[in-house]
Each structure stands twice: as structure tokens, then as C-alpha cells.
Amino acid sequence: MEAIDLFSKDLNYGVVDDKNIMSLISLVRQGIQFPVFVNFMEKSPFDLSEWSGFLHVSERTMQRYKKEARTFDALQSEKILEIALLYKKGISVFGSSQNFDTWLNTQSLALGKIKPKELFDSSFGINLLKDELTRIEHGVLA
């Protein structure tokens, strides 16, 4: 698998065509290599401990993946891509990664007084955040 940049324009979260969806499915099936993940992790506001929680993998296992330059399985790869796409959309909606990071770490009344990043550990939570970002994008705050 070729190295990819999870922030590249190829991961457009806007109008997604079948070709792009199929390339995402292919990438999930092949698995994301740990060095590619590290590149994204270093650009994200989350440390290895937080990523361990999001991916339901112990920190020790993450350290082993790093040491062995392993490839994540399909479920973990899909979660990484979901978070990468959500992060890209969030930056677009908030205008900068700093503004989006602040939102992710601030308790949200709309989300039941939890920090949005606390929902990254499930696909349902990620979808809820996508919906919330769409509401913010369109000025629907209630």
C-alpha cells in the first residue's frame, strides 16, 4: 500500500463520488500502516493514549504496533479514516484546526454536556458529531 496523507484532498468529505468511496473501502481493507497513522496522529491534537481509547487498543499494543511498523486491521483502519474525515470537516467548519480543537475539548450542551472528542470511540458518536458539524455549518445551533 502506498503511503497516504490522511489530510490530503483525496479524502474529501464533501460531495463523495463512488470512486472515492471505493478507494476508502480499499484502503480500509488493506489496513492503514502505523507510520501513516503516526503522520496523522502528529497533526491531530490527540496523543497515543487518546488514540488507544478511540481504537479500543491498549497503549502497550499501540507501542508494539509502532515498534513493528504494523498495519491496523480493517475495523481500526475504518475508525482512523472516519476520524480523519471528521477532523477535516471540522477544520473546514471552524476555519482552523485550533478553533476546531477548542470545540472538541469544550463541553457541549447540544451533546449532553460532554466533550465532543469523547464520542470518537464509536461510529455512532462520530456520526453524531458529523451531524452536529453540519448544523453548526448551517447556523442551526439549537
* Predicted confidence (pLDDT) per residue in 95-134, tens digit: 999 999 999 999 999 899 999 999 999 999 999 999 999 9
What is the radius of gyration, based on Cα positions, of the chain?
A: 15
Does some domain include residue 130?
yes
57-87 pLDDT, tens digit per residue, is 999 999 999 999 999 999 999 999 999 999 9
Does some domain include residue 49?
yes
CA distances from 67 to 52, 53, 57, 62 (A): 15, 19, 15, 9
9-37 pLDDT, tens digit per residue, is 444 433 334 558 888 899 999 999 999 99
pLDDT at 8: 52
pLDDT at 118: 96
Instruction: Give the number of domains in the chain.
Output: 1
Q: Domain of residue 99: give its range.
A: 9-137
Does some domain include residue 26?
yes
Does some domain include residue 4?
no
Does some domain include residue 1?
no
pLDDT at 6: 53
pLDDT at 43: 87
* pTM across the whole model: 0.84
C-alpha cell at 108: 457541549
pLDDT at 20: 84
